[in-house]
Amino acid sequence: MNKHRGRTKFATVAVTVASMLVATAGLTGGALAGAASAPPAAPQHVTTVIGSTTVKVSWTKETSKTVTTYQVTDKPASKVCTVKSSAKAACNFSGLKASTAYTFAVRALAGKVKGKVASTTVTMGPSSTQAWKLSSDLTPGVLFNDTYLTAAGPTVATATKQQVQVTEYPANTLYSSQTLAFTALESDQIQAVVTQALNVNSLIPAMDGTQIAYIAPTSPQYFQIYAPGTAWFAEASAECAKVGVKLVPVAAGSPGEAGFGTTSATPFTSLGSLTGLKVRVPGAGIVSDELNTLGAQTVPLSTTAVATALQSGTVTAALGSAAFMASTVKGIIKGFLDPGTFQYGPYFMFVNMKAWNAIGTKDQNAIIAGVDGPVNTYLKTINLQQQVNDETLANQGDWIVKATPAQVTQYAQKLQPSALTTFKAEDLASYNALIATVKKLKITLYGS
């Protein structure tokens, strides 16, 4: 009896101790394990690219090393896409139905521990979706250029609720030059082109006059000239229509920050420092003529050819924005001359008239409103962005020289009269429309 009770007592104590150890392990080890495998946060920056029957879902990867996979599900199709954390953060869904809403839920997994969900909903376009191919010579990665690429591509699709699907071909990946791209636009091989007006002067003379140096003392005024409703815009639109093209007001060029990057280690003092130098320009036109008047030798080159030309010595300086100089030709240039509001040509989106008429008035108005939004946002931050660009150039060891107000006035008085005379001879109707526009906006042009 006692012996039996001893064994029972011993067994009871052993079980109690074991239970305590298990309980303790459950509290400590479980707590530590829970802390180590906490649910991953919801993925950030979930975006979609919508095709006629497809959707590509992308997101920014988690920085946590515990994440092993990502899982994307869609409703109502209930399809699941699983991606390893080491792979590209994207999933493709196909066979989606027209005019149907799909919700895509993205989550990270740490082993079997499911993270929080980030979701986005898209509505597929109707079966009558229009497909546009868009070409551009803009170099991706530059703030101002990306503004236009975003405005001209995804914004068009979003504004039309996917009625218009845009395939983008930036930086001449489709055509070797914008001249070829514009030819393809006229023949409807592609439906839209984002380019500087310099490249279409021979077809649309109205575009040349708007590149007159120092055309506006402030960036907002420069943009106002190109706004729908001005006499100049109406005349330019009429000229575009003659060649079967619609002029879409994606807005003007690089105001306030256009200048000259150079490989010269000696700082320039003014535009006069360009005398005797080979200078890259985007294309032939009035601005090229003005630089030649200063004694520079202009060399027309696309944005994609600038870096090579500077490195090889084909040109010593290049006309472009400070943002372009701080990124695309970083480490190649040694200085930047900011001559004030020296304009070198607006950017526009040109659309084949056949493609434009096919989408209807509702979507046309949606596109015009949509592409204008990003540029309005840019205008609000342009001065701040210019400061950032200047700081970036300075931090890279480049010298920066800014024209004084007196120099700006001096060169405006010198260059504008001859430029206006040239433009008047080229295109009297557009000249008259430009003069009427700047007078209404109370902008000073010397020689007008």
Tens digit of each residue's pLDDT (9 = 90 or more) over 144-195 = 666 677 778 888 888 888 889 888 876 666 776 667 888 888 888 899 988 7
pLDDT score, position 333 = 97
| Per-residue pLDDT tens digits for 268-317 | 999 999 999 999 988 778 888 889 988 999 998 877 789 999 999 999 99
Which phi and psi angles does 7 have, rounded to 5°?
-65, -40
Asked whether 194 and 138 are in contact (CB, 8 A), the reply is yes
CA angle 240, 246, 252 (to 5 degrees): 85
> What six digits make up the tokens of 270?
């003014």
Better-scored residue on pLDDT, 139 or 436: 436
Higher pLDDT, 208 or 336: 336
pLDDT, greater one: 150 or 110: 110
* Mean of pLDDT over the chain: 82
Q: Reduced to 3 states, what is the DSSP secondary structure of residue 424?
A: helix
pLDDT at 145: 65
Locate the domains of the chain by residue range.
44-123, 130-200+225-251+347-379, 258-345+383-440
Q: Quickly state the pLDDT bin for 440 (edges 50, 70, 90).
A: very high
Note the pTM of the prediction, 2 decimals. 0.67
Give the pLDDT band (50/70/90) at residue 251.
low
Rounded (10°) angle between helices 143-152 and 360-395: 170
- Tell me, yes or no, if the two domains 44-123 and 258-345+383-440 fold the same way: no
- Reported as a single tens digit per residue, the pLDDT across 217-243 is 666 777 788 888 899 999 999 999 999
CATH class of 130-200+225-251+347-379: alpha beta
pLDDT at 216: 61
Predicted local distance difference test score (pLDDT) of residue 1: 45
Distances (CA, A) of 153 to 15, 22, 307, 344, 445: 71, 61, 26, 24, 35
3-state secondary structure 323-366: HHHHHCCCCCCCEEEECCCCCCCCEEEEEEHHHHHHCHHHHHHH
Model confidence at 267: pLDDT above 60 = yes
Residue 11 CB coordination number (10 Å) = 10
Give the SS3 label for residue 238: helix
CA-CA distances (angstroms) from residue 206 to 50, 150, 255, 339, 435? 36, 26, 19, 25, 12
Round to whole Å and give the CA distance between 392 and 397: 9
User: Is 443 in a helix, a strand, or coil?
Assistant: coil
The pLDDT score that the predictor gives to residue 203 is 84
Q: State the amino acid at position 197 in one-letter form.
A: A
pLDDT at 17: 37
Architecture category of domain 44-123 in CATH: Sandwich (2.60)
CATH class label, 258-345+383-440: alpha beta
- Residue 126 predicted with pLDDT over 70: no
% of the chain at pLDDT higher than 90 = 36
Q: Does residue 63 contact residue 136 with C-beta atoms inside 8 Å?
A: no
Assess whether pLDDT exceeds 70 at residue 85.
yes
Give 351-378 pLDDT, tens digit per residue.
Answer: 999 999 988 899 999 998 887 777 667 6
What is the pLDDT confidence band of residue 428, given thresholds at 50, 70 and 90?
very high
Cα atoms in the 13 Å half-sphere on the side-chain side of 129 = 25
Structure tokens at 439: 């007078």
Query: Got the DSSP string for 176-187?
Result: SSHHHHHHHHHT
Q: What's the pLDDT at 182?
A: 83
Q: Give the per-residue pLDDT at 258.
A: 76
Q: Dump pLDDT digits (tens) for 10-22.
A: 334 344 434 433 4
